């Protein structure tokens, strides 16, 4: 077959696949903050060194975190470097992303700045209005078309005593069928399991809310950073399963590139903190090749325990998510799902 003919055939198949499928990426981008002071949040760590608001760092009870906050220089140069690295990872996907869920962003400005760096920018951006105490939010970027139509967005408040992230919903129509996407960033492992159960209950309530009667006809895709470990009892995930959602992590575990989406060095533990939960009807059509963890040379590296007091002193683990401060991008790998 002539080389040109092969190229035409390949591009035709690629175009055909993109037309008849929808691809979603979820990415915890690890503290994508701007370098301006927000008086309503404790964002002082992500300010230029010497900024007047850096004095707020001294209120931190942990001497380590206090010094880290005071010494950390987050300026325009660092911000732009972070954007460039994030864009490089997102652009490296071999599938054109239709919907991008971003976890751990500060505001719409940083999302727009990242969007400007992408090879295929999105035309619809939705950012949660409510953040946690630090100023962290979730966001959706959607590439609309005649087949993919944005309809509405909504936030669901997780009712805890302290201020925490909301669950962001984006409702779209794809090929005349309704889809409800939920971006989750549940309370961290620093909180008790009960806090993550409350987040799970909030998501379940969103699925069955009487104000959205058509939600029953909506195919659900819940994604994000669930901050939940497999051994937690009772499992917050059990609430989602009881509500009819299917965890696609079993298919994701078959990836040969990595053992998880997040690596916790002090315990040498890989975790699947980032997941996809979908409606049962959708889960039946998802194949192993439709879900993956995006790992590349740009976002992975080597973790090494350098603390002599640790039992794991000298241990090196290859292929872990590489943080920005270590010359990488984020402490999470992005996950990708294609709906055929």
Q: Is the pLDDT of residue 214 over 90?
A: no
Residue pair 286/278 in contact (Cβ under 8 Å)? The answer is: yes
Residue pair 122/91 in contact (Cβ under 8 Å)? The answer is: no
Radius of gyration of the chain (CA): 20
- In terms of Cα–Cα distance, which of 273, 261, 266, 275 is closest to 232? 273
| Structure confidence at residue 211 (pLDDT) | 56
| Structure confidence at residue 210 (pLDDT) | 59
Q: Is the pLDDT of residue 304 over 90?
A: yes
Q: Is the pLDDT of residue 212 over 80?
A: no
- In terms of Cα–Cα distance, which of 172, 171, 173, 164 is closest to 138? 164
Residue pair 181/223 in contact (Cβ under 8 Å)? The answer is: yes
| Structure confidence at residue 217 (pLDDT) | 80
**Least confidently predicted of 171-175, 210-214, 335-339:** 210-214
Token pair recorded at residue 185: 């960033």
Give the mean pLDDT of 231-250: 97
Percent of all residues in the chain with a pLDDT value above 70, rounded to a whole number: 92
| Structure confidence at residue 14 (pLDDT) | 46
Q: H-type helices in 212-298, by residue range?
A: 237-242, 249-252, 280-283
| Structure confidence at residue 8 (pLDDT) | 47
Q: Is the pLDDT of residue 331 over 50?
A: yes
Domains, the chain, ordered by start: 22-42+80-339 (3.60.10.10)
Q: Is the pLDDT of residue 215 over 80?
A: no
**Confidence band, pLDDT 50/70/90 cuts, at residue 3:** low
| Structure confidence at residue 311 (pLDDT) | 92
pTM of the model: 0.93
Q: Is the pLDDT of residue 121 over 60?
A: yes
| Structure confidence at residue 87 (pLDDT) | 98
Sequence-distant (6+) residues with CB within 8 A of 142 are: 98, 99, 100, 122, 123, 124, 125, 126, 148, 150, 170, 172
pLDDT in tens, 271-281: 999 999 999 99
**Least confidently predicted of 67-71, 165-169, 199-203, 216-220:** 216-220
3-state secondary structure of 242: helix
Q: In what helix (H) or strand (E) does residue 26 lie, and over which residues does it extend?
A: strand 22-32
pLDDT in tens, 15-32: 444 568 999 999 999 999
Give the mean pLDDT of 166-189: 97
CA distance linking residue 153 with residue 33, whole number of Å: 23
| Structure confidence at residue 170 (pLDDT) | 98
Which of left, alpha, beta for 251 (phi over 0: left; psi -120 to 50: alpha)?
A: alpha
Write down the mean pLDDT value for the chain: 93
CA distance linking residue 247 with residue 242, whole number of Å: 11
């Amino acid at each position: 077959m002539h080389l040109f003919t092969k190229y035409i055939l390949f591009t035709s198949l690629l175009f055909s696949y993109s037309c008849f499928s929808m691809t979603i990426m979820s990415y915890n981008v690890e503290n994508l903050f701007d370098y301006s002071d927000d008086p309503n949040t404790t964002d002082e760590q992500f300010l230029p060194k010497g900024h007047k608001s850096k004095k707020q760092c001294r209120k931190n009870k942990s001497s380590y975190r206090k010094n880290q906050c005071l010494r950390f220089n987050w300026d325009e140069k660092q911000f732009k470097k972070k954007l460039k690295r994030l864009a490089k990872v997102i652009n490296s996907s071999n599938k054109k992303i239709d919907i991008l869920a971003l976890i751990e962003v500060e505001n719409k400005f940083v999302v727009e700045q990242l969007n400007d760096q992408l090879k295929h920018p999105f035309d619809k951006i939705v950012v949660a209005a409510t953040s946690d105490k630090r100023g962290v939010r979730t966001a959706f970027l959607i590439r609309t078309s005649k087949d993919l139509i944005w309809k509405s967005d909504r936030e669901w408040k997780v009712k805890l005593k302290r201020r925490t992230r909301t669950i962001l919903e984006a409702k779209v129509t794809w090929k005349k069928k309704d889809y409800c996407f939920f971006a989750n960033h549940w309370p961290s492992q620093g909180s008790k399991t009960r806090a993550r159960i409350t987040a799970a209950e909030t998501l379940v309530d969103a699925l069955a809310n009487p104000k959205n009667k058509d939600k029953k006809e909506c195919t659900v895709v819940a994604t994000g950073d669930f901050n939940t470990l497999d051994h937690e009892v009772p499992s917050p995930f059990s609430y989602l399963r009881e509500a009819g959602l299917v965890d696609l992590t079993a298919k994701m575990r078959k990836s040969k590139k990595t053992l998880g989406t997040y690596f916790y060095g002090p315990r040498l533990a890989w975790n699947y903190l980032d997941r996809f939960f979908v409606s049962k009807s959708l889960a039946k059509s998802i194949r192993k090749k439709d879900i993956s963890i995006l790992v590349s040379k740009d976002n992975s590296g080597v973790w090494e325990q350098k603390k002599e007091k640790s039992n794991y002193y000298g241990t090196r683990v290859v292929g872990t998510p590489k943080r920005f401060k270590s010359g990488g991008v984020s402490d999470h790998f992005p996950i990708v799902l294609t709906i055929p």
